[in-house]
Amino acid sequence: MSYAMNALQILALAFVLVLGLAAVAALALFVLDKSQSADAIRRNYPVIGRFRGLFTKLGEFFRQYFFAMDREEMPFNRAQRDWVAHAARGKGNTIAFGSTRNLGVPGTPIFVPAAFPPLDDQFAATAPMQIGPHAAIPYKAKSIFNVSGMSYGAISRPAVEALSRGAAKAGIWLNTGEGGLSPYHLKGGCDIVYQIGTAKYGVRDAEGRLDDEKLREMAANPHVRMFELKLAQGAKPGKGGILPGAKVDDEVARIRGIPRGCDSISPNRHREVNDYGELLDFMAHIREVTGKPTGFKTVIGSSDAWAEFFELIRERGEESAPDFITIDGGDGGTGAAPMPLMDLVGLPLREALPRMVDMRDRHGLKERIRIVASGKLVNPGDVAWAICAGADFVTSARGFMFSLGCIQALKCNRNTCPTGVTTHDPRLQAGLVVEDKFEKVAHYARSVIREVETIAHSVGVAEPRLMRRRHVRIVQGDGTSVPMNKIRPSYNPATPS
Domain boundary assignment for the chain: 2-67, 129-487
User: Using one digit for the tens of pLDDT, what is the confidence trace for 469-492?
Assistant: 999 999 998 989 999 999 888 776
Could you give the CA distance from residue 382 to residue 101 in angstroms, rounded to a whole number?
14
SS (H, E, C) the chain: CHHHHHHHHHHHHHHHHHHHHHHHHHHHHHHHHHHCCCCHHHHHCCCCCHHHHHHHHHHHHHHHHHHCCCCCCCCCCHHHHHHHHHHHCCCCCCCCCCCCCCCCCCCCEEECCCCCCCCCCCCCCCCCEEECCCCCCCEEECCCEEECCCCECCECHHHHHHHHHHHHHHCCEEECCCCCCCHHHHCCCCEEEEEECCCCCCCECCCCCECHHHHHHHHCCCCEEEEEEECCCCCCCCCCCEECHHHCCHHHHHHHCCCCCCCEECCCCCCCCCCHHHHHHHHHHHHHHHCCCEEEEECCCCHHHHHHHHHHHHHHCHHHCCCEEEEECCCCCCCCCCHHHHHHCCCCHHHHHHHHHHHHHHCCCCCCCEEEEECCCCCHHHHHHHHHHCCCEEEECHHHHHHHCCCCCCCCCCCCCCCCCCCCCHHHHCCCCHHHHHHHHHHHHHHHHHHHHHHHHHHCCCCHHHCCHHHEEEECCCCCEEEHHHHCCCCCCCCCC
Band (pLDDT 50/70/90 cuts) for residue 11 is confident
Q: How many CA atoms does the CB half-sphere of 266 hold within 13 Å?
A: 33
The predicted pLDDT at position 482 comes to: 92
The predicted pLDDT at position 89 comes to: 79
For the ranges 75-79, 215-219, 373-377, the lowest mean pLDDT is seen at: 75-79
If you average pLDDT over every residue of the chain, what do you get?
Answer: 84
The predicted pLDDT at position 215 comes to: 96
Could you give the CA distance from residue 242 to residue 337 in angstroms, rounded to a whole number?
7
For the ranges 77-81, 101-105, 313-317, 378-382, the lowest mean pLDDT is seen at: 77-81
User: Using one digit for the tens of pLDDT, what is the confidence trace for 174-189?
Assistant: 999 988 999 999 999 9
State the average pLDDT over residues 456-467: 93
State the average pLDDT over residues 181-207: 93
The predicted pLDDT at position 65 comes to: 55
User: Using one digit for the tens of pLDDT, what is the confidence trace for 204-237?
Assistant: 888 889 999 999 999 999 999 999 999 987 655 6
One-letter amino acid identity for 200?
K
In angstroms, what CA-CA distances link 405 with 65, 339, 415?
16, 25, 16
The predicted pLDDT at position 121 comes to: 65
Could you give the CA distance from residue 366 to residue 342 in angstroms, rounded to a whole number?
31
Band (pLDDT 50/70/90 cuts) for residue 104 is confident
The predicted pLDDT at position 313 comes to: 97
Band (pLDDT 50/70/90 cuts) for residue 167 is very high
Q: Does 277 have pLDDT greater than 90?
A: yes
State the average pLDDT over residues 304-316: 94
Of all residues in the chain, the percent with pLDDT exceeding 90 is: 46
286 with 229: CB under 8 angstroms?
Answer: yes
Q: Which residue has the higher pLDDT, 41 or 371?
A: 371
Q: Looking at the domain covering 129-487, what would its CATH class be?
A: alpha beta
Band (pLDDT 50/70/90 cuts) for residue 430 is confident
Q: Does 67 have pLDDT greater than 60?
A: no
Return the sign of the alpha-carbon dihedral for residues 172, 134, 294, 205.
positive
The predicted pLDDT at position 266 comes to: 80
Band (pLDDT 50/70/90 cuts) for residue 239 is low
Q: Does 110 have pLDDT greater than 80?
A: yes
Q: Which residue has the higher pLDDT, 346 or 140?
A: 140
User: Using one digit for the tens of pLDDT, what is the confidence trace for 250-261?
Assistant: 888 888 877 888
Q: Which residue has the higher pLDDT, 329 or 86?
A: 329
State the average pLDDT over residues 61-69: 55
415 with 424: CB under 8 angstroms?
Answer: yes
pTM for this prediction: 0.83
